[in-house]
Amino acid sequence: MTVIFYLSSVIALLAAAIAISRRNAFHALLYVVVSLLAVAVTFFSIGAAFAGALEIIVYAGAIIVLFIFVVMMLNLGPQAAGRADGLLTPSMWFGPALLALTLLVELSVILIRATGTGTSDTAVGPREVALSLFGPYAIGVELASFLLLAGLVGAARLGSGARSTGGDR
């Protein structure tokens, strides 16, 4: 199981790195899908099968499909591949890179200090996940549902607004 964990972690990292370096948005999204699937496999390998299945259903199966939907809808074609070339000047990526580096250092410190929290073979079933989600973490679930409701209301407003003011209907 440990071998699978590290193997899929490496695949996830590699796929993510390839995804951000692709010029073709569609190919980049395919690598994002690979990365998400690999993350799901890491979840499976440490016994969090429920989280792994949800990762595939929600991220790989729904959210990325919507991204792909938009890319297909815009249908940019091959000439759009080079459009972002001039944008990536050193002054553009210096700030984000610095922030990301800080995060990486923090993460490494936490990982080094943490003891005894490696991979385990104890499987966490759906029941345990549900009990902790609607027990100690209920406030987080409620906050997330507020956020989703706000998104839903916004989408409904945008959709109905386009219908009442749109000229081409």
Partner 1 sequence: MSALLGPLIPVVVVLGLMLTMAAFLIWYERRLLALWQDRYGPNRVGPFGLLQIVADMIKIFFKEDWIPPFADRFVFVLAPMAIMIAVLMSFVVLPLSPDIVVVDSNIGLLFILAMSSMTVYASVLGGWASNNKYALLGGLRSAAQMVSYEVFMGISLMGVIVLTGSFRLIDIVEAQSGLWNCVPQFFGLLIFAVAGVAESKRIPFDMPEAEAELVAGYHTEYSGMKFGMFFVGEYLGVTLISALTVILYFGGWKGPWLPPIVWFFIKTFAVIAVFILLRASLPRPRFDQLMDYGWKVLLPFALLNVLVTGAVVLL
Task: Tell me which residues touch partner 1 (CB under 8 A).
Answer: 26-27, 30, 33, 40, 49-50, 53-54, 56-57, 60-62, 65-66, 68-69, 71-73, 75, 123, 125-126
Closest approach of partner 1 to the CB of residue 17, in Å = 18
**Residue reference for tokens 């939907």:** 69
Sign of the C-alpha dihedral computed for residues 21, 27, 30 and 34 taken in this order: negative
d(CA 17, CA 11): 10
Residues 6+ apart with CB under 8 A from 76: 25
**104 to 93, 99, 107, 113: CA distances (angstroms):** 16, 9, 5, 14
Encoding tokens for residue 1?
A: 């199981």
Q: Which is nearer to partner 1, 63 or 144 (CB)?
A: 63
Q: Considering beta carbons, is residue 99 or 152 the nearer one to partner 1?
A: 152
Least distance from partner 1 to the Cβ atom of residue 93, Å: 28
Q: How far is the CB of 126 from partner 1 (least distance, A)?
A: 6
- Shorter beta-carbon distance to partner 1: residue 11 or 49: 49
CB nearer to partner 1: give 24 or 119.
Answer: 24
